[in-house]
Chain A
Amino acid sequence: MGNLELIVEKHSERIHHGLEVLPNLRHGLPEGLGNKRWTAELILATYEMALTGDLPKNGLEYKTGNSGGGFDVLGWKNNGSAKVESDKIDLSIELNKRDDGKKITIPLPIYGGGMSFGSISLNFMLARARAAKRLNTFMSTGEGGYPDDIVPYRDHVITQVATGMFGVREETIQYAPIVEFKYAQGAKPGLGGHLLADKVTSEVAKMRESSMFTSLYSPFPFHSVYSVEDHKKHVDWIKTVNPRALVSVKVSTPTDVDMVAIGSYHAGANIIHIDGGYGGTGAAPEIAKKNIAMPVEYAIPKVHDYLMSEGVRDEIVLIASGGIRTADDIAKAIALGADGCVVATAEAIAVGCTHCGNCERGRGCQVGITTTDPELSRFIEPEWGETRIVNLFTAWSKRLRSILAGFGLENVRDLRGRRDLLVRYK
């Protein structure tokens, strides 16, 4: 074995071991870890769930962060002991509520959000795809194209079509059971995508049909879409290329997000996916993350109520993302009116992300998640990553079942819009 192999092996082992021992708090809570949204405890609890597939038993906080608002000031009404047996609870949701088109049901109200090849490593992408397959759910390609290595998982891969059209080809649309239009991203609403030059390696450039080590910008908005009618043409385009595909429309959360949602419904979308302002990104201006568009907690009820008032709520699936960190966040989002949630950052945390925010840098991520560096990428073996993500979602399922059991609900679909089950904390 050459030295490089030994070095990669050494650090992989050490990192993986660290992820196992840190949650037991033998060395205390690392002081520099975490922030208000992803607290140190929440990060360690996620490591623990990704390791064991179970909820933490040592008192680590795994339900909320410490941001002082949104999901973090919502809790559950005291519901006493379980009223339904856990294993009788159905967590599945449908992703197509229209009369026509393929019916797709996922066994959990969760699927993986868009993280592009280039912003993340191929190994992490593979781990996500493998996990999606094992869980019988989906993950989205993000806007960086469709590497050949994930073709074997195509029944569980959503092809994203975003404004830069990077890697969008006829066959990648034809592969997909679901095609996702990304109109906007919560972390940089109205600003398009940005992949910094350092991460545009030859593989990334080839996939995106661009030049190496040149920053790539996705424009905003789609320059072919300035109205709902234009948007319908987009939907029609996809349905022509792949008549079996469901269409998801990913938008951010402006004041008129309810109007955007109804417009998407009338254009023929199966899924309206709202991505709140506190969502994740591989690189975005700091000013955009904090200040533009509303958090998803406020957007969900607005959209849900409006779709109800328009009488179309049961014909379109409402998916929420942008700051969904825990099983409790998912359940709260559903109680506020969503059908299910998309997560991405939590999957990254499961494989060792510390939410340090250095993803945009040259070599990118120190543990091989948001990097295109060939050495660092190898810290995440796809099988290992798959197991960690599956474990996390398994632990979350247990928590979701426990919430539903407490309220006597046998089906997660019955939780939708049940704001009466929530309480607010000052």
Chain B
Amino acid sequence: MDLETPMPSKYDRFKIETKPAPHVYQIPNKFDVSARKVRLAAMLVHEAFEYKLNKEVVLSRPCIYGVFGGRFGGFKPLKHKCVGCMRCVQEYPHIMTVKHSDSYKRLGDSFWTPEAVFTILNEASTGKIPVKGMGYKGAFGGEGFDGIWTDMSEIVRPTRDGVYGREYISTSVDVGRKPTSVDFSKIDRASSTIEIPVPIIFDKLSAGNGDVRAAVGMAAEKLGTFYVSRERTPFDFGQESLIPIGNEEGIEDLVERPPAIVEYDAEKSDLFEKLASRLPSSIVIARLPLREDSGMIACKLAHEGVHGLHLYADYHGQDYSKEPQHISASLKEVHQQLVKGGLRDQVTLIASGGITLAEHVPKAIICGADLVGIDTTVLVALQAEFRGETRDRANCQLKPRKIDPEWGAQRLVNLFGVWHDQLIEILSAMGIRDVRRLRGDIGRSMMDAELRELSFKGIAWAT
């Protein structure tokens, strides 16, 4: 052995390489700054006298972000630089107005708030966790994921520094059916599960041009995750990461090139036996809309031997029950029924629909999912246009624009990188080293509705 030549390191710690991928379509200015021009001119004249034409003092601007740093100062403010600090209004309330711009307020739909759209756009663009000063500014709690807080541990664990690289926190999950006991006679058989490094896949998109599909495929390949699609992409990349949705007619095509994972519409067909026998090396997942009877159906399918269930709500996170409820509630029901039936550890649960922000990932996992699928978020990250409501999977009004697939892939890699880091923040606050431990661990969460009743018990309702 040549001691002079260092051995190449084989250590490869999972890390998502983010890099800036700026917006290619202009995004709205968040704030609209304007000045009453006559008053502004009068003020300048007044200050010119007050400061004896000392140009530097007269023209010193009431903004540290450069909004008035353009050639025409306050007469033509550089609105894109405004961060809403309001100092100009504090200094010159009779002249300046700052408000959220109309184009910002129009972003999104009844579910996607302008703030959420901006968050995704910035995460995809920068690849950096949003860090800001001051405390939380939003609603107290709310419905669905907004009504859930995750737990933290004050002292009892040493994992915190994971986010800065000192200790490893695993975000890997397994997809596939797990044996209930070790069978030594089959010990040589290849594992029937696939490990993916983040608990997130790309779900089927209702709208998407070839470029979008290509970006998704490339991103999935780079990230080591998967994407669900009814059609194969006409590209060389991403084929290994594809989860096709199988149907009766397409089985022969799948047999020709067996995918690692395949889904089928369990509501429309009973293809499991056929897919499992024709694609013995593939993980077969039943795709199901979440409804009031999903728990029962999930147990039946798990008994029949499916390897996993992909449960989906609509794009606003509402299930398809007669009285729709949020995916967080329906997921808990399915998870708990599988636990009661002694089946939970055998199947993988993928949840999608309404999982649109980083915090939804750990919350969906706490509610019982092993991993999640994202959908409309992908299109938002790729600067698709909102043309109406995005709720309906068959008629989503989020229209993709023409994009460069390479750019799109980087935006999605950035998004996953940021979500991965935020997942680690949540896990480290809890003192958990492995996201798999979070699955269905309701004790790691605090529910607004429950806490409200406990803490405000005995307080009378106002009449």
* Residues of A bordering B, CB below 8 Å: 3, 6-7, 10-11, 14-15, 17-19, 21-22, 26-27, 30-33, 35-38, 67-70, 72-75, 77, 183-184, 186-187, 189-192, 194, 196, 217, 219-223, 225-227, 230-231, 251-252, 254-255, 260, 277-295, 297-302, 322-323, 336, 345, 352-361, 363-364, 366-367, 370, 376, 419-420, 422-426
Q: Is B1 part of the contact surface with A, judged by Cβ < 8 Å? A: no
**A184 and B134 contacting across the interface, CB-CB below 8 Å:** no
CA distance A220 to B427 in the complex (A): 13
B99, B160, B422, B461: residue with the most chain A Cβ atoms closer than 10 Å:
B160
**B137 and A15 contacting across the interface, CB-CB below 8 Å:** no
Whether A221 touches B51, Cβ cut-off 8 Å, given contacts A31-B100, A184-B154, A280-B134, is: no
- A336 touches which of B65, B100, B141, B455 (Cβ 8 Å): B455
Interface string of B133-164 (1 = CB under 8 A from A): 11111111110000011111111111011011
**A360 and B132 contacting across the interface, CB-CB below 8 Å:** yes
**A291 and B149 contacting across the interface, CB-CB below 8 Å:** yes
CA distance A7 to B64 in the complex (A): 13
CA distance A352 to B93 in the complex (A): 14
- B455 touches which of A37, A192, A297 (Cβ 8 Å): A297
Q: Is B358 part of the contact surface with A, judged by Cβ < 8 Å? A: yes
CB-CB under 8 A from A285, the residues of chain B are: 129-131, 422, 425
Q: In the complex, what residue of chain B is closest to A426 when comparing beta carbons? A: B461
Q: Is B16 part of the contact surface with A, judged by Cβ < 8 Å? A: no
**B158 and A226 contacting across the interface, CB-CB below 8 Å:** yes
Q: In the complex, what residue of chain A is closest to B161 when comparing beta carbons? A: A219
CA distance A197 to B160 in the complex (A): 21
A67, A190, A336, A363: residue with the most chain B Cβ atoms closer than 10 Å:
A190
From 105 to 151 in chain B, residues with beta carbon under 8 angstroms from any chain A beta carbon are 119, 129-142, 148-151
B65, B152, B163, B426: residue with the most chain A Cβ atoms closer than 10 Å:
B152
CB-CB under 8 A from B461, the residues of chain A are: 423-426
**A376 and B64 contacting across the interface, CB-CB below 8 Å:** yes
* Distance (whole angstroms) from the CB of A381 to the closest CB of chain B: 16
**B100 and A294 contacting across the interface, CB-CB below 8 Å:** no
**A358 and B133 contacting across the interface, CB-CB below 8 Å:** yes
Of B54-62, B278-286, B381-389, the segment with at least 4 beta carbons within 8 Å of chain A is B54-62
B130, B133, B462: residue with the most chain A Cβ atoms closer than 10 Å:
B133
Q: In the complex, what residue of chain A is closest to B148 when comparing beta carbons? A: A291
| Interface residues on chain B, number (Cβ under 8 Å) | 79
**B97 and A31 contacting across the interface, CB-CB below 8 Å:** yes
CA distance A344 to B112 in the complex (A): 32
**A191 and B429 contacting across the interface, CB-CB below 8 Å:** yes
* Distance (whole angstroms) from the CB of A77 to the closest CB of chain B: 7
Other A-B pairs beyond A36-B137, A323-B135, 17, CB < 8 Å: A3-B56, A14-B91, A15-B90, A27-B93, A32-B97, A187-B135, A187-B136, A225-B155, A227-B155, A231-B155, A254-B151, A284-B132, A290-B359, A291-B359, A301-B454, A302-B455, A422-B459
- B429 touches which of A14, A190, A295, A353 (Cβ 8 Å): A190
Of B80-88, B194-202, B226-234, B244-252, the segment with at least 4 beta carbons within 8 Å of chain A is B80-88
**A18 and B93 contacting across the interface, CB-CB below 8 Å:** yes
**A7 and B60 contacting across the interface, CB-CB below 8 Å:** yes
CA distance A191 to B159 in the complex (A): 10
Whether A255 touches B462, Cβ cut-off 8 Å, given contacts A32-B98, A278-B135, is: no
Q: In the complex, what residue of chain A is closest to B31 when comparing beta carbons? A: A32
Q: Is B257 part of the contact surface with A, judged by Cβ < 8 Å? A: no
**A366 and B93 contacting across the interface, CB-CB below 8 Å:** no
**A254 and B152 contacting across the interface, CB-CB below 8 Å:** yes
Cβ contacts A to B, 12 pairs, < 8 Å: A6-B54, A7-B60, A10-B47, A17-B91, A18-B91, A30-B86, A32-B89, A221-B155, A252-B152, A301-B455, A363-B64, A419-B456
CB-CB under 8 A from A356, the residues of chain B are: 83-86, 134
CB-CB under 8 A from B425, the residues of chain A are: 191, 285, 287-288
Interface string of B62-105 (1 = CB under 8 A from A): 11110000000000000000011111011111100111100000
**B138 and A67 contacting across the interface, CB-CB below 8 Å:** yes
Q: In the complex, what residue of chain A is closest to B119 when comparing beta carbons? A: A286
- B462 touches which of A14, A277, A425 (Cβ 8 Å): A425
CB-CB under 8 A from B262, the residues of chain A are: none
- A419 touches which of B83, B92, B458 (Cβ 8 Å): B458
Q: Is B452 part of the contact surface with A, judged by Cβ < 8 Å? A: yes
**B140 and A254 contacting across the interface, CB-CB below 8 Å:** no
- B131 touches which of A31, A36, A360 (Cβ 8 Å): A360
- B91 touches which of A15, A77, A360, A420 (Cβ 8 Å): A15
CA distance A367 to B86 in the complex (A): 10
* Distance (whole angstroms) from the CB of B83 to the closest CB of chain A: 5
**A280 and B135 contacting across the interface, CB-CB below 8 Å:** yes
Whether A255 touches B151, Cβ cut-off 8 Å, given contacts A11-B60, A67-B140, is: yes
**A355 and B134 contacting across the interface, CB-CB below 8 Å:** yes
CB-CB under 8 A from A18, the residues of chain B are: 89-93
Q: In the complex, what residue of chain B is closest to A422 when comparing beta carbons? A: B459
CA distance A283 to B132 in the complex (A): 5
Q: In the complex, what residue of chain A is closest to B418 when comparing beta carbons? A: A287
